[in-house]
């Protein structure tokens, strides 16, 4: 028995280490060494961009083979437990429990996926881990199965936890309805609400409890509305002296303290004056534009998530900011129309903060072809990915075949921000001018 127990403990330790290495691969390194690793990674990205520009006939080589000067990585004010949003999966755990709530280790290709509790992962705050543990307790007592593979049935799926520095906690539970009728669904929602308000889950002290019925891997509010089971419809965050309302699916930088440092630098690099118009593309809840509104004459925000735009408008009104307008829709549909008829003589500065997928080509083309935009700040969480394509589209020579007729941009400065301690990722701020 002792040998079996020792072997089991060793196997669990191995799995826990594998999870930490997968989610936070730099967690064993002292923080200064983490920053050095990230700096070297960003150097390689800028060297790649310089080489790619050389292939296009653009002399972009700077000292070190970089396309522009690279500043040291700006450290995160908070190193552990900094995430304000965590997504937990439901699947089979190392002990065979099919209702384990945690993070994945392994790959589908090798068929060795296992779901491991995230209790030891350093970038996830204790509140998130507490809600995940309570959700696991609830579904383990539920007669309904977890939904591991859609076609095999089951119901209980993902958990998203969002928290703020104001002490607010939002939990969003995804549920596959399969063939359940409305009465059965209502029963499950009532049980879930009771557990988190009167049962063991009450210890989580949730500000908001949401429920979403989804038959897809990812589902927007428009496809299947988030249903508020308990509490307030929104949670609130404070950033740079402003208060922001956050909806279940609204984008908000995952490291709030780090975002404050990033946005302050964005404000400096914008070089905005009292007559500047700030174009905030992929604006989310309006954090960047609203934080800079006092420096400019006008802010124009564009965002695809409709609920995020509602939040941005509320945020502007609540904070007494009246020089902002927000447009809901895909940037590739909204921006070309907006800039095609642009006749405002005021200086126009653009800030883009897209997802990992980068900007749609029509967005880049609209920016390139708008002569009023002389200064562009690109914030990328994955500059080595699709963003690299955007950088090249912004900086390549004019190409009438691709309808890129505007003067090209040039990279002037790169500043990495460590928004994700213990991981290899950085948020890279690139300044382009023309």
- Would the CA dihedral through 77, 158, 222, 208 be positive or negative? negative
Catalytic residue among 147, 270, 381, 426: 381
Backbone angles phi, psi at 323, to 5 degrees: -100, 30
Determine the distance from the C-alpha atom of residue 276 to the mean position of all C-alpha atoms in its chain, rounded to a whole number: 28
- Residue 264 is assigned to a ligand binding site: no
| Element housing 196 (H / E) | helix 182-197
Q: How far apart are CA 246 and CA 234, in angstroms?
A: 6
Q: Residue-wise over 316-332: b if at least 16 C-beta within 10 A, else e?
A: beebebebbebbbeebb
**Residue pair 120/132 in contact by the 8 Å Cβ criterion:** no
Helix 126-140 with 182-197: angle, nearest 10 deg: 130
Give residue for tokens 């249903």: 227
Determine the distance from the C-alpha atom of residue 17 to the mean position of all C-alpha atoms in its chain, rounded to a whole number: 25
Q: How far apart are CA 116 and CA 97, in angstroms?
A: 10
- Residue 353 is assigned to a ligand binding site: yes
Q: How far apart are CA 87 and CA 404, in angstroms?
A: 39
**Residue pair 414/425 in contact by the 8 Å Cβ criterion:** no
Quick one: how many helices (H) and strands (E) in the chain? 10, 16
| Element housing 104 (H / E) | strand 100-105
Q: Where are the beta strands (DSSP E) in 155-200?
A: 156-163, 169-175
For 253, 296, 340, 347, 360, the CA distances from 371, given in Å and listed in that order, are 30, 19, 10, 10, 19
Task: Please give the angle made by the CA atoms of 76, 418 and 390, to the nearest 5 degrees.
Answer: 145
Annotation says 381 is catalytic: yes
Q: How far apart are CA 258 and CA 425, in angstroms?
A: 13
- Residue 253 is assigned to a ligand binding site: yes
Q: Which residues are catalytic?
A: 381
Which segments are annotated as binding site for S-adenosyl-L-methionine?
253, 303, 353
């Amino acid at each position: 028995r002792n040998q079996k127990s020792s072997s089991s403990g060793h196997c669990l330790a191995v799995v826990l280490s594998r999870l930490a290495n997968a989610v936070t691969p730099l967690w064993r390194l002292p923080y200064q060494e983490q920053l050095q690793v990230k700096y070297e990674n960003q150097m390689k990205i800028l060297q790649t961009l310089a080489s790619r520009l050389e292939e296009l006939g653009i002399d972009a080589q700077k000292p070190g083979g970089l396309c522009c000067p690279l500043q040291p990585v700006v450290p995160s004010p908070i190193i552990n437990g900094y995430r304000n949003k965590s997504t937990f999966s439901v699947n089979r755990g190392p002990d065979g429990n099919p209702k384990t709530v945690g993070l994945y280790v392994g790959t589908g290709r090798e068929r060795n996926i296992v779901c491991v509790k995230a209790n030891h992962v350093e970038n996830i705050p204790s509140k998130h881990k507490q809600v995940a543990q309570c959700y696991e307790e609830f579904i383990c007592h539920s007669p309904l199965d977890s939904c591991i593979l859609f076609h095999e049935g089951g119901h209980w799926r993902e958990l998203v936890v969002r928290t703020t520095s104001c002490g607010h906690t939002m939990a969003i539970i995804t549920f596959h309805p399969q063939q359940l009728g409305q009465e059965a669904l209502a029963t499950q929602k009532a049980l879930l609400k009771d557990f988190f308000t009167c049962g063991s889950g009450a210890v989580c002290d949730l500000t908001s409890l949401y429920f979403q019925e989804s038959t897809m891997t990812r589902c927007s509010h428009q496809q299947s509305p988030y249903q508020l089971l308990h509490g307030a419809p929104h949670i609130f965050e404070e950033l740079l002296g402003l208060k922001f309302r956050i909806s279940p699916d609204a984008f908000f930088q995952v490291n709030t303290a780090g975002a404050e440092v990033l946005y302050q630098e964005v404000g400096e690099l914008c070089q905005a004056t009292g007559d500047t118009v700030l174009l905030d593309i992929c604006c989310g809840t309006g954090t960047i534009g609203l934080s800079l509104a006092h420096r400019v004459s006008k802010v124009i925000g564009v965002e695809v998530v409709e609920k995020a735009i509602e939040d941005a408008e509320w945020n502007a009104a609540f904070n007494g900011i009246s020089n902002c307008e927000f447009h809901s829709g895909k940037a590739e549909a909204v921006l070309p129309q907006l800039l095609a008829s642009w006749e405002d003589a005021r200086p126009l500065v653009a800030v883009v903060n897209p997802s990992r997928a980068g900007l749609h080509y029509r967005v880049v083309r609209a920016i390139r072809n708008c002569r009023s935009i002389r200064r562009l700040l690109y914030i990328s969480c994955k500059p080595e990915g699709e963003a690299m394509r955007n950088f090249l589209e912004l900086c390549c020579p004019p190409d009438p075949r691709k309808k890129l007729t505007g003067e090209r941009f040039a990279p002037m400065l790169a500043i990495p921000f460590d928004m994700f301690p213990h991981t290899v990722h950085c948020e890279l701020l690139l300044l382009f001018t023309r």
